[in-house]
């Protein structure tokens, strides 16, 4: 049963449900993914170590922090997906100074510290259990049909990855001889971030790397901790958890906005399967959607999208005056800070949405705070991450239309 009041969506906890247990769709997807990865050359050792590190070193501390800062909001799936995104963000921000001082394994300090704090401090121990926070009306629970629908999408993405991407990107010769044109560059950047900080352009000695490089820092950190080869992470493993969390977060965000779970499932299908119409031959250069294709071939896009959705989730909660935890703005700040080097192009999108809110409402304190955080992050990205370089960027309204449509 769903109760809507005062622009807030609250779902009553469900005592029990008949039929398949909740873990069955998740378990089936895991089995399919494991089978696909082993078939495509990933060792059982690498699978186990990767799963252990992402689970214990990223997901668990990230989820604990999300619960403590965001409050007891949403379903368990939402907490885990948002917690994974937050864990990735903190991992990257921890790895940068660790690699800079020449001790990359210091990245493990943050998950150890967080887990130890949530074990030792009595007030934090309750966050080990999924449940409503103080003052909340109850725990929202994802319907079982919705869980099956999202599991079907994730399963399809795994199968598609196995047949389409893995098949053309082997881990050994000659299977890795003809990768997609961008993949060697991604691999070079991963190697650069594994061994140098601050990073430089791999092909130009001493040239600062003015690029979205945080996702490569994440994979570099994972490689240091697990001992897994960078190629295996880039071609097989690292994008999978991000894809799964992205599916869940898109559904949750649409659910928050509309109050309907079917809208969440529809949003996921549109995100991954809808293509814009080609108005005439060649128009696909302007109107296109290739979420599945870019999931692997553009790690920066995948990582940036994953970090952007929980930011939007928290902003929606503030704009709708929903009850949030004590550190909601901290979450927005940390995730936005990670976006500066993950995929900065998401920040102007957030800024545009917040400005639109101000235009429509004329006054919104949460929107103003969000604008301030976004502008600060944009300035940091431009003057620190990108070294104040323009890189050919110019203000040219309708330039793409003129080029594609022959204006």
DSSP assignment, residue 2? E
The model's pTM: 0.89
Question: pLDDT tens-digit profile of 211-263?
Answer: 899 999 999 999 999 999 999 999 999 999 999 999 999 999 999 999 899 99
What pLDDT, on the 0 to 100 scale, is given for residue 330? 95
Per the CB < 8 A criterion, the answer to whether 63 and 79 are in contact is yes
What pLDDT, on the 0 to 100 scale, is given for residue 284? 53
Residue 305 included in any domain: yes
Residue 18 included in any domain: no
Reply yes or no on whether the pLDDT at 21 is more than 70.
Answer: no
Residue 139 included in any domain: yes
CA 210 to chain centroid:
22
User: Residue 317: which of 242, 255, 264 has the closest Cα?
Assistant: 255
> Which H or E element spans position 148?
helix 144-160
What pLDDT, on the 0 to 100 scale, is given for residue 8? 43
Question: pLDDT tens-digit profile of 263-301?
Answer: 999 999 988 887 665 555 555 555 555 566 688 999 999
CA 402 to chain centroid:
34
Reply yes or no on whether the pLDDT at 47 is more than 50.
Answer: yes
Per the CB < 8 A criterion, the answer to whether 195 and 104 are in contact is no
Question: pLDDT tens-digit profile of 164-199?
Answer: 899 889 998 888 888 999 999 999 999 999 999 999
Query: In the chain, what percentage of residues exceed pLDDT 70?
Result: 86
What pLDDT, on the 0 to 100 scale, is given for residue 20? 61
Residue 284 included in any domain: yes
Residue 24 included in any domain: no
Residue 173 included in any domain: yes
What pLDDT, on the 0 to 100 scale, is given for residue 288? 53
Query: In the structure, what pLDDT confidence band is assigned to residue 5 with cuts at 50, 70 and 90?
Result: very low
Provide CB contacts within 8 A for 92, sequence distance 6+.
214, 217, 218, 221, 338, 341, 342
Residue 17 included in any domain: no
Total of domains in the chain: 1
Residue 200: phi and psi, rounded to 5, are -125, 170
Residue 361 included in any domain: yes
Per the CB < 8 A criterion, the answer to whether 208 and 200 are in contact is yes
Alpha helices (H) along 168-323: 183-195, 214-226, 230-232, 239-258, 261-273, 291-297, 299-319
| Domain extent at residue 182 | 2-11+29-405
């Amino acid at each position: 049963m769903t109760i809507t009041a005062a622009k807030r969506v609250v779902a009553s906890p469900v005592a029990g449900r008949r039929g398949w247990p909740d873990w069955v769709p998740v378990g089936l997807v895991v089995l399919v993914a494991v089978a696909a990865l082993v078939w495509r050359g990933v060792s059982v050792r690498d699978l186990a170590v990767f799963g252990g590190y992402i689970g214990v070193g990223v997901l668990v501390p990230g989820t604990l922090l999300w619960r403590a800062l965001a409050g007891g909001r949403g379903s368990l799936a939402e907490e885990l997906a948002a917690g994974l995104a937050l864990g990735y963000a903190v991992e990257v921000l921890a790895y940068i100074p660790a690699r800079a001082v020449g001790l990359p394994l210091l990245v493990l300090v943050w998950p150890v510290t967080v887990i130890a704090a949530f074990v030792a401090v009595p007030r934090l121990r309750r966050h080990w259990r999924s449940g409503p926070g103080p003052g909340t009306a109850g725990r929202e629970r994802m319907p079982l049909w919705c869980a099956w629908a999202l599991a079907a999408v994730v399963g399809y993405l795994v199968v598609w990855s196995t047949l389409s991407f893995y098949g053309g990107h082997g881990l050994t010769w000659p299977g890795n001889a003809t990768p997609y044109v961008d993949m060697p560059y991604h691999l070079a950047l991963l190697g650069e971030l594994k061994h140098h900080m601050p990073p430089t352009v791999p092909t130009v000695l001493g040239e600062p790397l003015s690029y979205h490089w945080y996702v490569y820092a994440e994979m570099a950190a994972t490689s240091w901790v697990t001992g897994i080869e960078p190629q295996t992470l880039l071609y097989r493993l690292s994008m999978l958890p991000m894809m799964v969390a992205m599916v869940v977060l898109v559904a949750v965000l649409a659910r928050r906005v509309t109050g309907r779970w079917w809208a969440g499932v529809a949003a996921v299908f549109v995100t991954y399967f809808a293509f814009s119409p080609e108005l005439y031959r060649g128009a696909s250069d302007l109107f296109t959607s290739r979420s599945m294709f870019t999931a692997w071939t553009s790690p920066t896009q995948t990582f940036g999208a994953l970090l952007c959705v929980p930011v939007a989730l928290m902003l929606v909660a503030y704009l709708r005056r929903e009850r949030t935890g004590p550190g909601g703005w901290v979450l927005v700040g940390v995730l936005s800070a990670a976006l500066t080097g993950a995929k900065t192009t998401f920040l102007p999108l957030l800024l545009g949405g917040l400005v639109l809110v101000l235009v429509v409402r004329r006054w919104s304190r949460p929107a103003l705070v969000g604008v301030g955080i976004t502008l600060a992050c944009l300035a940091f990205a431009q003057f620190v991450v990108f070294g104040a370089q323009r890189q050919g960027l110019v203000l040219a309204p309708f330039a793409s239309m003129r080029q594609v449509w022959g204006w």
